[in-house]
Amino acid sequence: MSSIHAKDPTGPLENRWEKHLFNLSLIAPQNRKKHKVIVIGTGLAGASLCATLGEAGYQVSSFCFQDSPRRAHSIAAQGGINSTKNYQNDGDSVWRLFYDTIKGGDFRARESNVYRLAQLSGNIIDQAVAQGVPFAREYSGYLANRSFGGTQVSRTFYARGQTGQQLLLGAYQAHSRQLENDNVTHQSRSEMLELIMVDDQARGVVVRDLVSGEVSAHTADCVVLCTGGYSNVFYLSTNAKGCNTSATWRAYKQGAYFANPSFTQIHPTCVPPTVENQSKLTLMSESLRNDGRIWAPKNSADCTKNPADIKEEDRDYFLERMYPAFANLAPRDVASRAVKLICDKGLGVGSKIHGKRLGVYLDFSAIIEKLGLDAVAEKYGNLFDMYSSITGENPYQTPMKIYPAPHYTMGGLWVDYNLMTTVEGLFAGGEANFSDHGANRLGASALMQGLADGYFILPKTVANYLAQNTLTEVDDAHPQVVQSLKAVKERIQKLMNAPQPKYSPEHFHQKLGGILWEACGMSREADRLKQAIVEIAELETQFWQNIKVTGIDNDLNQTLERAGRVADFIELGKLMCQDALMREESCGAHARVEYLTEGGEAKRDDNEFSFVGAWEFMSEQPKLHKEQLNYEFIEPTVRNYK
Ligand SMILES: Cc1cc2nc3c(=O)[nH]c(=O)nc-3n(C[C@H](O)[C@H](O)[C@H](O)COP(=O)(O)OP(=O)(O)OC[C@H]3O[C@@H](n4cnc5c(N)ncnc54)[C@H](O)[C@@H]3O)c2cc1C
């Protein structure tokens, strides 16, 4: 085991970023065109980065696997984006957002980064408003705010239930402007399958054109991955079906450390599964917890009744009972565990899945009575419509049913203060990096982090890297480029030609998801994790023996795309279990049953585990490196939302 360092600045917290910015090298405008940057991923983090680097005058090449940058998964974000504007005058400040984020992440995030994020949060809103993002407004004309979990102020800016979509349209327009100006080139329907390394530096990528099947190499001075999160490793998640880990996993295999892979967030308010073979789960935004009350029947005999027939005194508003200070706005990890506890006790409602009713009620009757139907529809109409079209039930009349589902990944590529990975010249932004959220992300903080990375941090730190490194030209004939292309083509052939092709990628993915959900989901335990590592290793062997990819490789072939992604998910799943096994404590979303209080709360071990666990790929066993977390400004305490 060895230690790694973030290289963050020292001194007063509030001056660190400014001081660092001053010390970063700049490139004169007339020289920027000489530098080429590849950006993989054009969701909020990637599109905002391309727009900013393009505007500054660099040559940028961007790639995404969807048919348009507008379809990045960021578009699905519903609830909002945090910022410390303090328009509500309810006591918010940069310090409070910093504190809430560190505490929300159960004291497993880096202070310098989180403070910078809170400082930049105001700039993001200014930038988005200037682009015309239609945030909700108050009667006065000020931008409106609502609350999200884990906070006692209203700092979440929103555009009905479509905040991600509106923010992405803003970033996409800015990205498109640079395409028009010839500063950025973009290829959609292109999937990165390998990172090209030359002299230990990231110098390019190999991509597959998903329409023609053509595999090609692209070189540059440096590479930035903004490729999103890996919740789909669980098979069932709230993420778009295409979200995957392949880009970050290829980078891991080339030397980029993977940090805290087991820190995965299970979101409490999702539409529960109704059948055992379901292929997708849907989020109901956390913003609904501002006004909806969560409850379950007190008696198991009531679980199959129509909720309207359950008397008020027979309802258990368990979050209000267990966490009176934050009540229905308890943070996600805390709320998810409480919902699981209720359902494990046999007090869940809705369809039975594997013998258990997995659902509790999210009830809007009180707020509808108070504000009227129109006011509630104005705030949440599109979310209610979505719920209604999925379930066939009318949430204006009957409470929604909700259950936790995999949603967000705090783990990802380890990055230093400059958001550079352990591979020189390889940066990571947005959900793809291990981010600023510690062991649990607070709601409405992912959009904030992705846009802070893309608009404000990476453009400066990437420029600094380019200014400080004299990079020789790498062309397509370079032996390393030729070798990377060859490796990708060989892997495709291996996927196409398994010895005994029998099962689809979904078959293996479903099996992996089942193992991970049981062993590395909402509750984890040493024996179960050890068993899962063995089961996943067996699944991996079976995969390469029995994967069946129909069709041909040099054409559109979605089975081939999925097979490659599942192969990477299987390897990542194993690392997740190893990471969860190593961390003999509970913190945030990582709940080891051996380290919980009697009330089911996380028991952290700051003496032994106050570090970021960053794994280095090795062919036999991954090697753990530790980044020690030093709390200079906040004293880690037991998280208390009561
Ligand atoms: C349903 C839902 C609702 C959410 N609501 C909120 C919210 O209200 N507030 C909030 O703060 N957060 C929310 N989140 C989280 C937030 O939306 C995401 O964390 C954030 O949008 C991720 O942005 P990103 O730019 O990092 O990645 P993404 O938007 O996922 O973009 C990834 C990009 O990478 C590309 N890509 C990936 N792999 C490859 C590859 N191998 N080759 C080429 N391209 C690749 C994709 O094509 C895409 O362009 C929500 C998440 C979900 C699932």
What pLDDT digit, counting tens, does each position of 166-191 carry?
A: 999 999 999 999 999 999 999 999 99
Check for a shared fold between 268-406 and 481-609. Answer: no
**Average pLDDT for 97-106:** 95
**What is the distance in A from the centroid of ligand 1 to the CA of 232?**
12
Probe target for ligand 1 pocket from 66, 73, 332, with the most ligand atoms within 8 Å of CB: 73
What does pLDDT average to over the chain? 95
**Ligand 1: residue whose CA is nearest its atom 6:** 77
Q: Please list the residues that pair with 409 across neighbouring strands.
A: 264
> For residue 240, which atom of ligand 1 is closest to its CA?
53
3-state class of 195 per DSSP?
A: strand
3-state class of 266 per DSSP?
A: strand
Indicate the pLDDT class of residue 349, thresholds 50, 70 and 90: very high
Q: What is the pLDDT at residue 331?
A: 84
State if residue 171 touches ligand 1 by the CB under 6 angstroms criterion.
no
Q: What is the pLDDT at residue 633?
A: 97
State if residue 39 touches ligand 1 by the CB under 6 angstroms criterion.
no
Kindly state the DSSP code that residue 441 receives in the 8-state scheme: P
For residue 377, CA distances in Å to 135, 294, 295, 372 come to 17, 19, 22, 9
Cα 10 to Cα 87: distance, rounded to the nearest angstrom: 31
The hierarchical CATH code for the domain 268-406 is 3.90.700.10
Cα 141 to Cα 308: distance, rounded to the nearest angstrom: 39
Indicate the pLDDT class of residue 277, thresholds 50, 70 and 90: confident
pLDDT greater than 80 at residue 117 = yes
The hierarchical CATH code for the domain 481-609 is 1.20.58.100
Spatial contact of 57 and 183, defined as CB atoms under 8 Å apart: yes
Cα 291 to Cα 501: distance, rounded to the nearest angstrom: 52
Find where tokens 């903004």 sit: 226
Q: Which amino acid is at 436?
A: D
Give the β-pairing of 201-209 and 611-616.
unpaired
Cα 549 to Cα 362: distance, rounded to the nearest angstrom: 42
> For residue 446, which atom of ligand 1 is closest to its CA?
11
**Average pLDDT for 47-56:** 98
For residue 35, CA distances in Å to 25, 54, 199, 226, 511 come to 14, 11, 18, 19, 45
Q: What is the pLDDT at residue 149?
A: 77
3-state class of 433 per DSSP?
A: strand
> For residue 431, which atom of ligand 1 is closest to its CA?
26
State if residue 407 touches ligand 1 by the CB under 6 angstroms criterion.
yes
pLDDT greater than 70 at residue 51 = yes
**Ligand 1: residue whose CA is nearest its atom 14:** 77
Q: Give the predicted TM-score (pTM) of the model.
A: 0.96
Indicate the pLDDT class of residue 160, thresholds 50, 70 and 90: confident
Token pair in block for residue 87? 């328009």
**What is the distance in A from the centroid of ligand 1 to the CA of 416?**
21
State if residue 101 touches ligand 1 by the CB under 6 angstroms criterion.
no
**What is the distance in A from the centroid of ligand 1 to the CA of 577?**
23
Break the chain into its structural domains and give their ranges. 268-406, 481-609
**What is the distance in A from the centroid of ligand 1 to the CA of 432?**
9
Cα 434 to Cα 436: distance, rounded to the nearest angstrom: 7
State if residue 350 touches ligand 1 by the CB under 6 angstroms criterion.
no
In angstroms and rounded to an integer, the radius of gyration of the C-alpha atoms of the chain is: 24
State if residue 63 touches ligand 1 by the CB under 6 angstroms criterion.
yes
For residue 471, CA distances in Å to 24, 198, 222, 527 come to 18, 10, 9, 49
3-state class of 344 per DSSP?
A: helix
Cα 65 to Cα 458: distance, rounded to the nearest angstrom: 22
Q: What is the pLDDT at residue 279?
A: 85
Task: Provide, for the chain, the percentages of residues in helix, strand and coil under a 3-state DSSP scheme, each rounded to the nearest 5.
Answer: 45, 20, 40
State if residue 163 touches ligand 1 by the CB under 6 angstroms criterion.
yes
Q: What is the pLDDT at residue 514?
A: 93
Q: What is the pLDDT at residue 226?
A: 98
Q: What is the pLDDT at residue 334?
A: 87
Q: What is the pLDDT at residue 378?
A: 86
State if residue 73 touches ligand 1 by the CB under 6 angstroms criterion.
yes
Centre a 10 Å sphere on the Cβ of residue 200 and count the other Cβ atoms it contains. 11
State if residue 159 touches ligand 1 by the CB under 6 angstroms criterion.
no
Go through the chain and tell me how many residues it has: 642
Q: What is the pLDDT at residue 1?
A: 61
Nearest to 145 by CA among 127, 128, 125: 125
Q: What is the pLDDT at residue 152?
A: 86
Q: Please list the residues that pair with 222 across neighbouring strands.
A: 37
**What is the distance in A from the centroid of ligand 1 to the CA of 73?**
4
Max distance between CA atoms of the chain, in angstroms, equals 75
Share of the chain above pLDDT 70, in %: 100
Stretch among 37-41, 341-345, 350-354, 525-529 having the lowest mean pLDDT: 350-354
Cα 244 to Cα 570: distance, rounded to the nearest angstrom: 11
**What is the distance in A from the centroid of ligand 1 to the CA of 43?**
6
Q: What is the pLDDT at residue 278?
A: 84
> For residue 447, which atom of ligand 1 is closest to its CA?
11
Q: What is the pLDDT at residue 428?
A: 98
Tens of pLDDT along 244-271?
999 999 999 999 999 999 999 999 999 9
Going across the sheet that includes 360-363, the strands are 264-270, 400-409, 360-363, 293-297, 315-316
Probe target for ligand 1 pocket from 227, 441, 568, with the most ligand atoms within 8 Å of CB: 227
**Ligand 1: residue whose CA is nearest its atom 12:** 446
State if residue 450 touches ligand 1 by the CB under 6 angstroms criterion.
yes
**What is the distance in A from the centroid of ligand 1 to the CA of 162?**
14
pLDDT greater than 80 at residue 234 = yes
Spatial contact of 471 and 462, defined as CB atoms under 8 Å apart: no
Tens of pLDDT along 300-335?
999 999 999 999 999 999 999 999 988 998 888 889
Give the up-direction half-sphere exposure of residue 357: CA atoms within 13 A in the CB hemisphere. Answer: 20
> For residue 246, which atom of ligand 1 is closest to its CA?
41
State if residue 288 touches ligand 1 by the CB under 6 angstroms criterion.
no
**What is the distance in A from the centroid of ligand 1 to the CA of 599?**
34
**What is the distance in A from the centroid of ligand 1 to the CA of 450?**
9
